[in-house]
Structure 1
Amino acid sequence: MRGSVIGLLAVAAVLTTTMTASAATERSWGLWAPMTGASGAYSGEVSIAATPQLDATYSSTSRSGSVGVISGASTWLSEGTPVGAIYGSSRNQQYLNLRPKADNASSPSITTYAFERATPTSGWAFTLGDIDADAVQILAIGPDGTELTAAQLGFEGGFNYCAPGVAGKPSCTGDAADVPTWDAGSSTLTGNAGALDTQGAAAWFQPTAPISSLTFTFTRRAGFPVYQTWFSAITRSVTGVVQDTTAGAPISGVPVRITDANGTVIGETVTAADGTYSFPSAVATDGYTVEIVPPAGKTSDEPSRPVDLTEQDGVADFSVRDIVPVAVSGTVRDANGDPVAGAVVALDDGTTVRTKPDGTYLIDTVPVGEHSLTVTAPDGYTVISSPPPFTVPENSETPITDQDFVLRELPALSGIVTAAGAGVGGVVITAEGPDGTVRTVTAADGSYSFPELAAGDYTVRVQTPDGYVVSGPAAREEAVDADDVTGVDFALARLGSVAGMVTTTAGDPQPGATLRITGPQGTVTATTDADGGYGLGDLPPGVYEIEIVLPDGFASASPTSRTITITDAGELIEGQDFVLSPVVVTPTPSPDPSESQEPTPQAPSDGSGGGLATTGVDPWPAVGTGAALLALGAITLIVGRRRRA
């Protein structure tokens, strides 16, 4: 990170460290800048350590709601947890809350951390919390563009930071047995088997290989999905003294610098009056080199020393002495006149020295006679010119100077990967050329570079990261000669998501309803869950039609289809709801027995066209209406006479 915010974060990270029993060893927790952006497109920065500067930017497709940087005042990792036992309590130290892209199993959020420089191989950790009713898959990419193995991720185990008996535990309730499980085959943490929304389930990792990008894919299983991320580091000191063996006393004002495993200078100082120096806080890992620059007229038989801070503080002492005539010196520069450090200069008698940070070298005690010098260029350089042979006269004490070399840096190929106009960090780029295939990873701002390439034709490809599709060509053909090749750019587009509800007119959820989503890649379906919700992720940019398939017994109380558009920004388009109304079925009424029905006249089967045929069921229909009325009258008279009798 090159912004002023990260510079302030790095300083603050040092100031907020927690001291341990050893005065030189410090423990710190990551310091987060405020999260920016909106739901589905958040970003931010985190500073984990200051020396070497261990910073990252992140982008996340997390949805909004209960997300952001949290103070750590009410939830923390106590010293009684496994990670706290090593890195100290995280109480009042910040962490990050994030959620899935949508609250369904098909819309995970993808959060990628792009580190400014590759992480060290020890001395730092990350912890994921509240992994209970959820799952998170972890992907780490090394600086060479290859994926770290599960073993290299350094899974240290699961725990519950609310578990009873944890000293200084947070004010929450948790079960010691409620911890996430780790599947090394898929590099996935999964919460408890019952997908219960509980508290305190966490796991921690100490990676053992350098990382350029770290990606968490977080998926909801049940409940209210949210997860926490902590980063932590341990730093130790490097001290030493520089002695002048000729004078028999310490020497002050000697420049001292320290470089990390990548050869990057991470600290510079000069010796004090007593010859001592100190680099107080460097991440507890291996691969450091401390180097001195002897004063004029002095030389050192061992001007650089390796330092390992993995287990303890480092000590690197040095000695200098007077130069014994006759001395031969010069400078190694590149074609632009810039010094080249680390080049090996050899005298013809087998004596070798390495150029200093300013590109100079010196060989003292060169014997009388004619000599020649050669240089072994560092990786990425080729030799353009070398000095001619020289002669050391007898009885001469005059130094021989200006024995200079010129190198040319091999050309580089570079570009940037963007999505919706912003750089995308952590993307793997490959370049296949005359010497095979090389890989690299984009920096936090999306830029990448292949330095030191041999001349020839190259095929440069972008590997599409999770949550994206390539917008435009995914491969480019480029020719490399003596000059740098720039502008080999690639464009990505984020994948979008859609989510909604299906309810009845009474407001009840409708589970099991089917939605058809038709877009650039054809038609797919989604089914509502027990709460009536549905969701579909990994949708490339384009226009989509969402149509509900009406369940049996329902009609639509809202439009049965709608159209949405997903842009390169990869939106989460929520609220795509449908309302159903139950179909009311009116039953067919049964005949009323009190109502008489006249039969339809039918012609006799013999073709005579005579009177109506008798049905054999009821005698009344067999007679005419008048005869029926006379018969009813006769019955009435008879009944009347009987009642009067």
Structure 2
Amino acid sequence: MVGALPAAAATTTSWAGWELLSGSPGAYTSSVQIAAQPAVSATVTSDSRGGQVGVISGASTWLAEGTPVGAKYGSSAGQPYVNLRPKADNATSPSTTTYSFAAPTPASGWTFVLGDIDADSVRIHAVAGDGHVLDAAELGFREGFNYCAPGVVGKPSCTGDAADVPTWNPTTLTLTGNQAAADTSGAAAWFEPSTPISSLTFFFTRRAGFPVYQTWFASIARDITGTVTDVAEGPLEGVELSLTDANGTVVATTTTTTGGTYAFPGFVATDGYSVRVTPPDGKIAQSAVSQDVDLTDEDGVADFTVRDIVPVAVSGRITDTDGLPIAGVTVTIDGLTTTTDADGRYVIDDVPVGDHTATITTPDGYTLVTSAPPFTVPEDSETPITDVDFVVAEHPSLSGTVQSNGAGVAGVTVTASGPGGSTLSAVTDANGDYSFPRLPAGEYTVGIEVPSGYSASGPVARDESVGATDVEDVDFELARLGAIDGVVRTDGGTPVAGVAITVEGPDGTQQVATDADGAYGLGTLPPGTYTITVTPPAGTAVVGAASRTVVITAAGEVVVDQDFTLGAVVVTPTPTPTPTDSGPAPTGGTKLPATGLAPETFLWAGIGAAVLIIGGILVVVSRRRSKGD
């Protein structure tokens, strides 16, 4: 991991650590750890092309404290970031880079920054933990800035223009560089999402030049502290406490020290935390056993008071049919309520003499199987009543995988429409897996949203029946879209603009023209066989074959270097026909190219030569006759 995260103390900031890129162009992978507590990490997949890509040290390029994001998160000098490129260098072949988070991100306390957005554009697609796509407000665009602009405190040794910043379109969720698509330095923008994210995708497209873009992540951490005090004995040492995050995961445990104090230091500055105390044997919390804590704007404090249990105490446990504990279930006895702990246990004391019935609020996704029977608290009894237990059955789950060319596809939205018209959403993880846990029995239609950069290789929806057991292997297959690019030059190496290129493939025929650099390209091409044909401009001819055939497979290859060469047209001269003994010269002859002599000159020269030859023959014959006489 490059750039390991430091331990937090009070309010601290840190920049993300990265694993170095592995794989090859078109199929890179990595991982990034944005925060340590709770761990905010993601697996990264990208079909970026190669060349100047990778995890960069931050030694020569960084976000200074004088930038808007640096003012809040500190300087990133010496902290790593990632460089990536388009899938191919044309306007129809964006790269797709997806960050699949191990658990939904916090709703605050972190940022991502996109840099070097000048001669290119990047569209952002983020999917929440519940499957909905984030809108502009939830993505939390803060502002564009230029980290190379004069006057930026602590900036690297680069030169930029403060007015050269990307433009944010909240409708298309797209950052676009300067209007001229000029390759400049320092154009960047930062975001602070306000909704937990399961998947974050950047679609990066070249507009001109040699495009490379940068991505940084950073987080803020704060502390939770408190005390545990007994109403009679004062501060208690050795009391256990646990911390749960907004995802319902226990992210830390600790015990009180001398003075009854405890601390959970260095947790992401967000809301949704809950601190729970486990009172020592024979004691119970004076009020609630847990407290909510919000670290969004400041450190948190959660103090607890405990007391001796007052007879008579009633306790029990809630488990599923496999004997596994169910935490957080509300239990009620005669208006007195509490919730089960991580081991599924609960205690309610001061239950009066008489007959009682305990009830629970059955959690979502479960069915009550066994209720605790009624019980009686005898007169003058101080004996605790135990084993007032409940059993619940977990509803079955439906799960599957979305794959392309044998590999899982991350960040795909999957929906399940079921009884009563309800629709649930899930997002595939880094392995392409998804799951709908604890579904009520019924008929479901499960479908996928084909993501950008892919086409469907089979059905995009399936009907499934959910009964009493889990439904597995509800899989879908995608094919990655490919691209073609090349250059048209003269035989002297000069690029030729405006040349028509025709590409015939599975979806029909497309035509593009070469740009000022002689380059052409097509993206979003489904698997199949493609024929590429160049139409030479007037006065030119193709050197070599004017057509070629390439194949794109489900791997979505970028077929590069499909180049053509043009040369000047060479006209082959055709001599003008001459008269024959049988008549005049045939018509339709073509004059010779200009040589300084007209064609008739050659005609008279030929006749003269013939006369000389005939004359020479006569002389020879005459001499022979003379000698013979």
TM-score (norm 1): 0.88
Match of 1:558 in 2: 544
Match of 2:5 in 1: 13
Q: Does the Cα contact within 8 Å between 1:81 and 1:166 map onto a contact in 2? A: yes
Match of 2:157 among 164, 167, 171: 171
Matches within 5 A, 1:417-432: 417-432=402-417
**SS of match in other structure, 2:241:** strand
Match of 2:365 among 373, 377, 380: 380
Match of 2:623 in 1: none
Q: Does the Cα contact within 8 Å between 1:127 and 1:202 map onto a contact in 2? A: yes
Matches within 5 A, 1:496-515: 496-515=482-501
| In 2, Cα distance between equivalents of 1:277 and 1:216 | 41
| In 2, Cα distance between equivalents of 1:169 and 1:558 | 52
Cα offset for 1:227? 0.6
Aligned residues: 582
Matches within 5 A, 1:252-291: 252-291=237-276
Q: Does the Cα contact within 8 Å between 2:316 and 2:389 map onto a contact in 1? A: yes
**SS of match in other structure, 1:425:** coil
Match of 2:125 in 1: 139
| In 2, Cα distance between equivalents of 1:185 and 1:343 | 42
Q: How big is the alpha-carbon RMSD for the aligned residues of Structure 1 and Structure 2?
A: 1.7
Matches within 5 A, 1:371-520: 371-435=356-420, 436-520=422-506
Match of 2:576 in 1: none
Cα offset for 1:34? 0.6
- State the Cα deviation string for residues 469-528 of structure 1 (Å, max 9, x = none): 122221111110121111111121111111111112121111111111112111111211
Name stretches of at least 5 consecutive residues in structure 2 with no aligned partner.
574-590, 605-629
**SS of match in other structure, 1:507:** coil
Distance 1:594 1:575, change over 3 A: closer
Q: Does the Cα contact within 8 Å between 1:558 and 1:579 map onto a contact in 2? A: yes
Is it true that 1:592 corresponds to 2:592 in the alignment?
A: no
Cα offset for 1:76? 0.3
Match of 1:51 among 4, 27, 37: 37
| In 1, Cα distance between equivalents of 2:67 and 2:445 | 49
Cα offset for 1:593? 9.3
Match of 2:531 among 519, 524, 545: 545
Question: Amino acid of the residue matched to residue 395 of structure 1?
Answer: D
Q: Does the Cα contact within 8 Å between 2:2 and 2:20 map onto a contact in 1? A: no
Distance 1:309 1:594, change over 3 A: closer
Question: Amino acid of the residue matched to residue 418 of structure 1?
Answer: Q
Question: Amino acid of the residue matched to residue 416 of structure 1?
Answer: T
Question: Amino acid of the residue matched to residue 556 of structure 1?
Answer: V
| In 1, Cα distance between equivalents of 2:598 and 2:380 | 142
| In 1, Cα distance between equivalents of 2:602 and 2:222 | 107
Structure 1 stretch displaced more, 580-589 or 558-567 = 580-589
Matches within 5 A, 1:201-280: 201-247=187-233, 249-280=234-265
Matches within 5 A, 1:325-364: 325-347=311-333, 349-364=334-349
**SS of match in other structure, 1:14:** coil
Match of 2:588 in 1: none
| In 1, Cα distance between equivalents of 2:459 and 2:490 | 46
Q: Does the Cα contact within 8 Å between 2:2 and 2:80 map onto a contact in 1? A: no
Is it true that 1:198 corresponds to 2:184 in the alignment?
A: yes
| In 2, Cα distance between equivalents of 1:596 and 1:75 | 75
Distance 1:394 1:216, change over 3 A: same
> Identity of counterpart residues, as a percentage?
59
Question: Amino acid of the residue matched to residue 421 of structure 1?
Answer: G
Structure 1 stretch displaced more, 511-520 or 161-170 = 511-520
Q: Does the Cα contact within 8 Å between 2:542 and 2:565 map onto a contact in 1? A: yes
Cα offset for 1:281? 1.1
Distance 1:485 1:594, change over 3 A: closer
- State the Cα deviation string for residues 587-608 of structure 1 (Å, max 9, x = none): 834783975999xxxxxxxxxx
Considering only CA atoms, is the larger Rg found in Structure 1 or Structure 2?
A: 1
Matches within 5 A, 1:17-56: 23-56=9-42
Cα offset for 1:14? 2.9
Match of 1:299 in 2: 284
| In 2, Cα distance between equivalents of 1:428 and 1:415 | 12
| In 2, Cα distance between equivalents of 1:329 and 1:597 | 126
| In 1, Cα distance between equivalents of 2:602 and 2:444 | 97
| In 2, Cα distance between equivalents of 1:143 and 1:595 | 91
Cα offset for 1:384? 0.2
Name stretches of at least 5 consecutive residues in structure 1 with no aligned partner.
1-7, 18-22, 599-645
Question: Amino acid of the residue matched to residue 155 of structure 1?
Answer: F
Q: Does the Cα contact within 8 Å between 1:138 and 1:215 map onto a contact in 2? A: yes
Question: Amino acid of the residue matched to residue 208 of structure 2?
Answer: A
